[in-house]
Structure 1
Amino acid sequence: MPQQFNQSTYHSICNELGQMDADFAAVIQNHGYPPMWTRPNSFETLVHIILEQQVSLASALSALNKLRERIQEITPARILLLTDLELRECYFSRQKSAYVRYLAEAIISGQLSLEAFGQMENDEIRRELCALKGIGNWTVDVYLMFVLQHSDILPLGDLAIVNAIKRLKGLPKETAKEELKMVGEQWKPYRTVASMLLWHYYLSSPAPRAAKMKKG
């Protein structure tokens, strides 16, 4: 089983990262501890993460809330009853309508079991989720971090994380992701919590911008 973190260990891991990296110590000193962002292990959560691909978090939440208004409980069966027009009225693009239907069908057919993911390794979970159209590494990273609280994920498909590392470390805009990955090596085995600190820094910095998400 991958190492996990929880509410009781979260601040101590933040402190340990602050001891490893003076820049994180400054983030905690200047902005406090980051929230421990968590989400339930549910179909609705995965729909929400799919909605967050390539758009602002506010836009994704608006679509999710519109969907909730229409069907009350977001379940695979209820999603599959909606027409293209009804999903479009909930601000779903044509592609995202298809993606959530693929996901709903995979869960109903038994191809995918969210409960089973709690006992699986990262690579197994990634392989099963990425087999579905519309789900890529960024979506899986967010799921592993926010839902399963796996402690060592660095989502370099996330623009806010990439920009936060460059800003915090004073790196040029053209710095390649491979170099950023090497920077993150020093934060093992707590790269998820390091990412929480990076998001917190990004959102707390002057003139924060809405985080855009990379597809997948």
Structure 2
Amino acid sequence: MGLQPPRALTRESLRRGAEILAGMDADLACILKRLGVPPLWARRPGFPALVQIILEQQVSLAAARTMYRRLYSRLGGMTAEGVHALQVDGLRKLGLTRQKASYCHGLAAMILSGNLDLTASARAADQHGRLALLSVPGLGPWSVDIYYVTALRRPDVWPRGDLALASALRDVKRMREIPGREEQESLTSGWSPWRSVAARILWAHYLDCRGRYLPRENGDQRSEIGDRRSEVRGQRT
């Protein structure tokens, strides 16, 4: 395999990217020596993953996971048809805020109307696919970044609005303050084209520092990260 990553990470390319990053950055090398290469945590692309990400905005991921399971149980699955049929009021009765109920219902409506084709956007060049997702109310830059990292498994995405990653950067780079988005861009630009791999390494570090790192692949262990979004007030989605 060459130095360039594939369009979607595999276990092999994740390991290769980690090896390359270890050779580039001593701090990442120390994490990898301590924890090993993180598993390929991933979600299946599509409507359910986007609903999960919407529910995760501004709350703990544990709370979002509970809400998702409640909605899934009520519908007997997670489909655009089911969410759309519940309407905003029905979603609110299940505990969603009015805003998140509106976002989930609107996402379902766009998919059912054909105004959003998730298969086509995944196949498109990333800049075009991202624009399609950003046109959906409730999907901001952080949400789209997380979808591209965890569902589409793109190798070179850095979710700059992610507090866990910002906190991990502060730790490993021995900074006094949590770096802002521009400073994160400066710190991580040298990790391209493997920034998503670096993010996975730093998520593992963040979890390990809090005693919650369990290296497994049957699910997205970002769900084990505690209140990393609830700590951020007023951030865009």
Quickly name the TM-score band, shorter chain normalised: over 0.9
Judging changes above 3 Å, is the alpha-carbon distance between structure 1 residues 126 and 191 closer, same or farther for their aligned structure 2 residues?
same
Normalized against structure 2, the TM-score is what?
0.85
CA apart distance, 1:43: 0.8
The runs of 5 or more residues in structure 1 that have no matched partner are: none
Does 2:214 correspond to 1:210?
A: no
Task: Give the CA RMSD over aligned residues.
Answer: 1.9
Partner of 2:32: 28
Per-residue CA deviations over 1:24-79 (Å, capped at 9, x if unaligned) read 11101112222211111121111011111111111111011001110112111111
Which of 186, 199, 213 is matched with 1:182 structurally?
Answer: 186
Partner of 1:52: 56
Q: Is the Cα contact below 8 Å between 2:169 and 2:179 reproduced in 1?
A: no
- In the aligned structure 2, how far is the partner of 1:145 from the partner of 1:181? 16
Q: Is the Cα contact below 8 Å between 1:112 and 1:128 reproduced in 2?
A: yes
Partner of 2:23: 19
Structure 1 letter corresponding to 2:22: G
Does 2:154 correspond to 1:150?
A: yes
Judging changes above 3 Å, is the alpha-carbon distance between structure 1 residues 115 and 178 closer, same or farther for their aligned structure 2 residues?
same
- In the aligned structure 2, how far is the partner of 1:211 from the partner of 1:168? 20
Aligned pairs, how many?
A: 216
Partner of 2:118: 114
Normalized against structure 1, the TM-score is what?
0.93
Q: Percent identity?
A: 33
Does 2:139 correspond to 1:123?
A: no
Structure 2 letter corresponding to 1:156: R
Q: Which shifted more, 80-89 or 119-128?
A: 80-89
- In the aligned structure 1, how far is the partner of 2:206 from the partner of 2:102? 32
- In the aligned structure 2, how far is the partner of 1:149 from the partner of 1:16? 18
Q: Which shifted more, 177-186 or 117-126?
A: 117-126
Structure 2 letter corresponding to 1:64: Y
- In the aligned structure 1, how far is the partner of 2:119 from the partner of 2:179? 39
